[in-house]
Amino acid sequence: MKKYIYTALIFIASLLLDIITKYLVILTISEHERINVIGSIVQFTLVYNQGGLFGILQGYQNLFLIVSIIVLIFIILFFIYEKNKGMLFCISMALITSGAVGNILDRVTGRKGVVDFINVGIGENLRWPTFNIADSVIVVGAILLFVVFFKEEKKRKTAEKNS
């Protein structure tokens, strides 16, 4: 039961962090304005992403809304029906789900697109696509989920070897 409370708290905390940071960015930064945070390596800049991951397929916001909702439903079903729910699995699912919900909320609230604002790189040509907290927690959650699957596979192989 404790792990589900932690799962809910992580979900709520990461979703609130995403919502609050996007709100603050919209209030304080003009679109495409750049504010240096750590020199010019890390900058805040307001960008509305009407496409998908890393800004691919710009202008297909409704398509990505539908795909995001379908993926969110599958993630929730996966969480519900997974029998082996260790703490790391629960944390990864909370992060992935909160990130998905955060970006879906941007798409359904009438904004021009998903609010992205974290810009990392060197100079103008060596920059990662602008992203947000939701994107970050999805990536961290996916990495943790990979670790969970890797550990489970290792356990399974050890059990097969010993039997």
In three-state form (DSSP H/G/I as H, E/B as E, the rest C), the secondary structure along the chain is CHHHHHHHHHHHHHHHHHHHHHHHHHHHCCECCEEEEECCCEEEEEEEECCCHHHCCCCCHHHHHHHHHHHHHHHHHHHHHCCCCCHHHHHHHHHHHHHHHHHHHHHHCCCCCEEEEEEEEECCCEECCCECHHHHHHHHHHHHHHHHHHHHHHHHHHHHHHC
Q: Which of 99, 135, 137, 145 is catalytic?
A: 135
Q: What is the pLDDT of residue 162?
A: 82
Q: Report the predicted TM-score, pTM, of the whole model to 2 decimal places.
A: 0.90
Q: What is the pLDDT of residues 80-117, one digit of tens each?
A: 999 889 999 999 999 999 999 999 999 999 889 999 99
Per-residue pLDDT of the chain (163 residues; tens, 9 = 90+): 888 999 999 999 999 999 999 999 999 999 999 999 999 999 999 999 988 877 777 877 888 899 999 999 999 999 999 988 999 999 999 999 999 999 999 999 988 999 999 999 998 889 999 999 999 999 999 999 999 999 988 888 888 888 7
Instruction: Map out the domains of the chain as residue ranges.
Output: 2-162
Give catalytic status of residue 106 as yes or no. no
Q: Which of 10, 49, 100, 116 is catalytic?
A: 116
